[in-house]
Amino acid sequence: MPDINSLSVGDVVAETGFSITRDSLVRYAGASGDFNPIHYRDDVAASVGLPGVLAHGMLTMGISIGPVVSWAGGAENIVDYGVRFTKPVVVPPGEPAELEVKATIGQIDPEAGKVRVDLTTTFEGNTVLGKAQAWVKL
């Protein structure tokens, strides 16, 4: 577990990439029970005006917190996590959608023994989660 006294606002605590494939979407749909066809059928996605099959928002949210969970020493140390969905992640057939996740210390509360980690998740150069923040108890 990180030492709160060794951290400063602006420190990057995790930075990594993730690939989402159509197989990822099928597996997530099975695990979550979210079988909305915009997540696996190009024709349905196009019929509702989408640019293609979209990754589930909660899948993107879950992937994004993963590096923070590892850095924090486990999910039990995440005391709050929230995001706004700002742009879709389009998953093309036959190739993965590549996400980049960067976690930065945004605030330190030494009295409460916790830090706010600000997440930046990007796809094709666009930020896909807005106000993505997690509070971590250290």
Tell me, what CATH number does 68's domain have? 3.10.129.10
Decide if 26 is inside a domain: no
Note whether 47 and 130 are within 8 A (CB): no
Decide if 37 is inside a domain: no
Q: In the prediction, which pLDDT does 96 show?
A: 98
124 Cβ contact partners less than 8 Å away, ≥ 6 residues apart: none
Decide if 110 is inside a domain: yes
For each successive 10 residues of the chain (138 residues), what is the average pLDDT? Answer: 95 98 97 97 97 98 98 98 97 97 98 98 97 98
What residues make up the domain containing 14? 4-20+55-137
Question: Is the pTM for the entire model greater than 0.85?
Answer: yes
Decide if 35 is inside a domain: no
Instruction: Please count the structural domains in the chain.
Output: 1
Structure tokens belonging to residue 50: 């989408």
137 Cβ contact partners less than 8 Å away, ≥ 6 residues apart: 77, 79, 113, 114
Note whether 136 and 77 are within 8 A (CB): yes
Decide if 46 is inside a domain: no
